[in-house]
Amino acid sequence: MTHSAAMASEILTGKTILEAMNTDLVCDAINVAMREIFLQFAYGRTQSAFSEGGLEIGAALEDLGKTQRSQVGTSYATRAKGPRYMEVAEGYVTRLALDADSEIIGYEYLNLGKMMAEINKGVAPDEAMSLAKGSYGRFDEAVTFVNPRQD
């Protein structure tokens, strides 16, 4: 779903809330999710409004002990710089891979859950960071790379 949200950041840039609500966002799941998010904005609700007594303490995936962590997939986009993926399902995005048309064709990420699991086993932080890095898409085919937080 974070990948669909990343695509939505490309599609929704510069649109009003009304235009965004009337935009097809690639897949049914993200269309429904975005509609519900907009409704929550309109009515001022939060996730805890849908759970009796709010969310339970420890309701996140990190309790499963599989290097998963609760997170919010974050993607930004501006007309001047285009989309920037900050955090996706795989983890913290360190670099975006761009093609000759400056379109995103992949990204490099750091899985913070895996990194911390390695550090807890006694692995040196630099090595743990290296072990927890990965890439997605056609990352190796990029013409250029950008740091989504700086470029």
pTM: 0.60
CA distance from start to end of the chain = 25
pLDDT at 40 over 60: yes
**What one-character DSSP code corresponds to residue 22?**
T
pLDDT at 48 over 60: no
- Write the CB contacts of 80 (distance below 8 Å, at least 6 apart in sequence): none
pLDDT, one tens digit per residue, over 91-147 is: 899 999 999 999 999 999 999 989 999 999 999 999 999 999 999 999 999 999 999
pLDDT at 52 over 80: no
